[in-house]
Amino acid sequence: MLDVTDRSGPARRGRWTAGQTKVEFPNILFRDSTMFPAPPYAELTVSGEERIEVRGGSGEALAAFEQNIIRPLDAHKEAAVERGTNAAVVRGRPSGPAIEGSEEIIVMGNAFELRRDARAFADTVAALREAAGADRLIYAPGLMEPSNLALLVYAGIDLFDSSLPLYQSARGKLLLTEGSLPAGDGTWLAERDGEEAHNLEAVWKELQLVRHMIRVGRLRELVETRVSASPWMVAALRILDLQQYEYQEKRWPVVGPRFYANTKASLFRPDVWRFRRRIMERWKPAPHKKVLLLIPCSAKKPYFTSRSHRQFEEVLLSVPNSSAVQELIITSPLGAVPRELELFYPAAQYDIPVTGNWDLEEVRMIQDLVVRAASFGFTKIISHLGSESGFVGEVVECVDTTQGWGTTTPESLERLRLELKEACEAAERVPRAVDRVELLRSQARYQFGAEGEALLDGCTVAGKYPYLKFLRGNAQLGMLTPERGMLSLTMDGGAVLLEKGIHTVQMGDFDLGGNLFAVGVTGADDRIRAGDEVAIVRNGELEGVGVAAMSGQEMVQSRRGEAVRVRHKRKRK
């Protein structure tokens, strides 16, 4: 029985209960034999040669299966499933329906062979997780070392064994997170404890770090630093990102902590890529926005709190009819951030090393997003980007207001003011109240898709940015919450989701006492991601609204765990 407590992309952390044994996962199954006794800190052990037995720290038998490691794998045949005791061994890549049965452990029977093929590894892990579902542990024997443990967990594997570290010990290799080195190079650990003890301690310490990074939601950063230890790991992460985006994306929350985008791989983090995709697919400027203003990002987030963006805002406030201006913030790795989406994850959470140099992928990414924005027919495009104006000017016709000056010099700001004044004078005037409604409408479209625009139909907006409430008559439908960086809904807002059939969670016929748990979910919108606003529906009626604690798919697959943290629920007489 699994209780997932933390998620970081496809990686999970939680507690596994089997019989009287309760252990945390991800975890290491330490080989236990006369020659290689398990270390005293082992929480799980594995023993046997042909018939493998998994035991808890107290010796309780938890699972058993036949290894059959000699039989060659035919990659062209359907995956073979061999049943054991509370474990099923899957050899090959599942391509059909979910794996039936009550076994809690799904063993990747050909895991060791995948060390030679990064593409097969990425594809097999994704297919196996989809077939195994959310309520099972995936065990990959013979694959783990300190250097790749973070990647394996990130890919979606829960259990490993110590067989490879022990084998490397026998070869006289000391394992590090950066790779390996020969023993006998004067390393004091080797002289004191021997290669075996060193290697086992190394994987155990790395596991503790991995667990911590899952808990704080930053495992991806650790993975990006670890994969440079081998070409296979770099390739595996790239293939996961480029070929298994959908597998990763639905397991990535739509909210998260601050993080560093320090490597090239950060461009293809699923949460970052999802932001760019949603801009391309969901974003469009309000009808009254006729002037596109391109401005640089800032080190401080959200952007509007930075000194440079306050200066840009002062210029806009000095220009009559400035509500006709659509601000677009140019940055890496997100590409382009419309001003109204600056609070949404990950726009308010990322940090990057700033060198002033842009590689070709970053330039192409930004150019694509700027071209997309320009396609909405602005009457004028103003570039206040400084050095970045060059490559932006290659794809759209724009006025450069910096012309060699810095973006915050008095000269460039004055030129910006004059260009904006001229452009805004020619645009239709729209009341500020309409502009505020359209700002939230754009946020609702980004958050919920096109159907989400209905949340702002007939609404007025009250409050001071970023604390904005939207009301229909006297009924408040929701508000922008900068702490979460998205729109939070009331019961009236939830009624709109129900009416449009989006972000709904179907519950069983029982009274909703507190939060909704997965065992009480009978159906859920596949578009729901952890952190999303959802409407809870009982027998076709709105029962409550809250925040998803897992994806819609996982809500349906899981038997345990919190599915929705309820904010409001229907009052019963």
72, 152: one domain: yes
Q: Is the pLDDT of residue 70 over 60?
A: no
Question: Does residue 256 fall inside a structural domain?
Answer: no
149, 16: one domain: yes
Residue-level pLDDT at 35 = 82
- CATH code for position 402: 3.40.50.10630
Residue closest to 109 by CA, chosen among 131, 130, 124, 126: 124
Which of 425, 448, 469 finishes a domain? Answer: 425
Task: Kindly indicate the confidence band of residue 106, based on its pLDDT and cuts at 50, 70 and 90.
Answer: very high
147, 233: one domain: yes
Calculate mean pLDDT across residues 383-397: 91
Q: In this predicted model, which residue has the larger pLDDT, 507 or 403?
A: 507
Task: Kindly indicate the confidence band of residue 191, based on its pLDDT and cuts at 50, 70 and 90.
Answer: very low
Q: In this predicted model, which residue has the larger pLDDT, 70 or 16?
A: 16
Question: Does residue 275 fall inside a structural domain?
Answer: no
Calculate mean pLDDT across residues 485-509: 97
Helix (H) or strand (E) holding 63: strand 61-66
6, 127: one domain: yes
Count CB neighbours of 371 within 10 A.
12
Q: Is the pLDDT of residue 525 over 50?
A: yes
Residue-level pLDDT at 190 = 43
What's the chain's average pLDDT? 93
220, 326: one domain: no
Encode 317-331 in three state secondary structure.
Answer: HCCCCHHHEEEEEEE
Residue-level pLDDT at 57 = 86
- Cis peptide bond prior to 26, omega within 30° of 0: yes
3-state DSSP assignment of residue 67: coil
Calculate mean pLDDT across residues 271-289: 97
222, 293: one domain: no
230, 295: one domain: no
- CATH code for position 490: 2.30.130.10
Calculate mean pLDDT across residues 538-564: 95
Question: Does residue 258 fall inside a structural domain?
Answer: no
Which of 393, 425, 457 finishes a domain? Answer: 425
Which of 197, 229, 246 finishes a domain? Answer: 246
Residue-level pLDDT at 68 = 67
Contact at 8 Å (CB) between 382 and 401? yes
Q: In this predicted model, which residue has the larger pLDDT, 405 or 148?
A: 148
86, 220: one domain: yes
Please state, in angstroms and rounded to a whole number, the distance separating the CA atoms of residues 424 and 457.
26
Contact at 8 Å (CB) between 313 and 298? no
Residue-level pLDDT at 199 = 94
pTM exceeding 0.85: yes
135, 87: one domain: yes
Task: Kindly indicate the confidence band of residue 77, based on its pLDDT and cuts at 50, 70 and 90.
Answer: low
Determine the angle formed by the axes of helices 118-132 and 231-243, rounding to 10 degrees.
50
Question: Does residue 128 fall inside a structural domain?
Answer: yes
Highest mean pLDDT: which of 84-93, 169-178, 520-529? Answer: 520-529
Determine the angle formed by the axes of helices 188-215 and 219-226, rounding to 10 degrees.
140
Question: Does residue 233 fall inside a structural domain?
Answer: yes
Question: Does residue 182 fall inside a structural domain?
Answer: yes
Number of structural domains in the chain: 3
Calculate mean pLDDT across residues 541-547: 97
Q: Is the pLDDT of residue 23 over 50?
A: yes
Residue-level pLDDT at 494 = 98
Calculate mean pLDDT across residues 58-85: 76
Q: Is the pLDDT of residue 465 over 80?
A: yes
Please state, in angstroms and rounded to a whole number, the distance separating the CA atoms of residues 38 and 43.
9
Residue-level pLDDT at 355 = 79
71, 214: one domain: yes
Calculate mean pLDDT across residues 264-286: 96
Residue-level pLDDT at 192 = 43
Question: Does residue 264 fall inside a structural domain?
Answer: no
Residue closest to 158 by CA, chosen among 221, 232, 106, 114: 106
469, 410: one domain: no
Calculate mean pLDDT across residues 289-313: 96
Residue-number span of the structural domain to which 547 is assigned = 432-569
- CATH code for position 114: 3.20.20.105
Question: Does residue 69 fall inside a structural domain?
Answer: yes
441, 564: one domain: yes
